[in-house]
Structure 1
Amino acid sequence: MAGHVTLSAPAFAGSMLDEGVSAYRHGNFEKSAKIFTPLARNGDATAQYLLSCQMINGAGVSADEATGWDMMQQATDNRHPDASIIMARKLEASGAPTDQIRALYQQSADQGETQAMLWLALDALDQGKPDDAKALLEKAWELGDPRAATLLANRFTKTDSGRYQYLRSAAQRGEMRAAAYLAEEARSVDDTAEAVGWCAIATGLPGHNEHVDWKSIGDAVEKNCAKFDKDLGEQDRAANRERVDQFLATFFENYQPWTPWKPCAVR
């Protein structure tokens, strides 16, 4: 579950919890476990949540799934939003009644966790409650989750311009599915530069970092995106790729990626 620990839990400056979270964030799990243990015993929900992750995964402590899940339940009972999501997922995997699962997601959503809002929105659609679903997605998008904008674009917008605006905004926050939709829309109006550009973004360009293999990215883009301008002549294709470069440069000027929810992460 905690295979990749990223930044995602609130800061608690000047406290032991803050010191424990900092140790957890930097992978010093033995230290974080020592700090979290007495805090968890005293009912601190964040300490319970992160320590339960360590126990379940054997990170810095001996693996003890049974005790770890008991502590995850304690964190959930203390209304930790991430613990609520994990326990909801555990119930889903076990085939538990939907009402129990829904209650846990609602508990998390009430504390502003957009991951839970998205589940509840899809659940509302399944129940034939589109107004409830739309309200949840609008709230999640207000909080910055681009996946909500993609769903709003595809489920609730009534105009092409409205759909495009949602999808473009979602892509600017790193939602690659939105970029894939935009690539197909650009192709439908014969805008080959935007089609290739959006396809390149959907292929994974936003995920690049200093350790990236640029040749691999280039090969992937060519494999996935060349179809959008393959019918152009050699000179026109070269000119189109220059327009693609300009499009991508403009896109990345305003690129602000959203950090998605991950289990056992701190922010």
Structure 2
Amino acid sequence: MTRARETFGGGVAVITGAAAGIGAGLARHAHRLGMTVVLVDVDAQAAAALRDELPGSIDVVCDVRDADAMAALAERVYRDVGSVRLLVNNAGVEQFGYLWDTPVANWNRVMDINVSGVFHGVRAFLPRMIAAQTRAWVWNLSSIGGVAVVPLQTPYIVSKHAVLALTECLRLEVELAGHADLIQVQAVLPGAVKSNIFETAGGVDPAADGTDVAAAESQRAAMLDIKADAMDPIEAAEVVFDQAADGAFYLLTQPDYVGSAMAERAEVLRSRTPPQLRTTRRFDPAEH
């Protein structure tokens, strides 16, 4: 924690999806490290409550799907708060059900928040972070689901694979552009961390002919069972901050568990093994 305090303390942190789950854990720990935290969320009441809990923090209602709103947020932060030391693109949502049963609106919601929201955050803040010519960090929230395949959660899994690829490419682009000495890009891959993401996840349309509602809700129930033993968000945040301060690129809330999923994914690709249904072990993509 000492290294993390030395690295991040006194700086400004902007965290999207900050009002719940791992976002709130990251916000609380950032505040504990001495950061000024900008709490960005669409849930005004929850964000305001967290602001009251964290003296000196700032709550902002903003939808990460809105590129113009994110640009305005960046302008406001740099004008009224100061240069951003840490940008955390965390906002995310879930979806259950067979892919062919997934409503188009639900697919778009997942992609717009989980993937485009990260892009909008990077596009709004990164040029200003570069221009400030001070050390800064960009964290994009992928998931253990970013290195796994899970049926009945396809939109979410796709989005987290995309965020991981986006972050890996972004790191290379920052280096190519000559900014690697100042800008540290890192990918956060949480395992199971307590949140309400499963309760608020999209499902399928029960009125549509042939839709398998039971399959979607069975997967929701399975994820809720995993949630019962999930990691505390503040504990997860502490692990992430410590790894980030040490300079790791892949920030894992549960290094052994998430690391085993990464190793398995690498072996699957190396051996070109087709995806297989699991009967005894499930990788949990619950992250915030």
TM-score computed with the length of structure 1 as normaliser: 0.29
* TM-score between both structures, scaled by the size of structure 2: 0.28
Larger CA Rg, structure 1 vs 2: 1
